[in-house]
A and B are shown apart, each in its own frame.
Chain A
Amino acid sequence: SQQGEEDPQALSIQEGENATMNCSYKTSINNLQWYRQNSGRGLVHLILIRSNEREKHSGRLRVTLDTSKKSSSLLITASRAADTASYFCATSQGGGSYIPTFGRGTSLIVHP
Chain B
Amino acid sequence: DTAVSQTPKYLVTQMGNDKSIKCEQNLGHDTMYWYKQDSKKFLKIMFSYNNKELIINETVPNRFSPKSPDKAHLNLHINSLELGDSAVYFCASSPWDRAYYGYTFGSGTRLTVV
Contacts and interface: CB of A to CB of B under 8 A. Distances in A.
A99 B101 contact: no
A44 B4 CA distance: 11
B51 interface: no
A99 B102 contact: no
B90 A104 contact: no
Contacts, number: 56
A11 interface: no
Interface residues on A, range: 20 to 34
A45 B98 contact: no
A101 B92 CA distance: 13
B68 interface: no
Interface in A65-112: 86, 88, 92, 94, 97-102, 104-105
10 contacts: A31-B100, A42-B4, A42-B106, A42-B107, A45-B102, A45-B103, A48-B100, A50-B100, A99-B48, A100-B103
Interface of B: 4, 33, 35, 40-45, 48, 56, 90, 92, 98-108
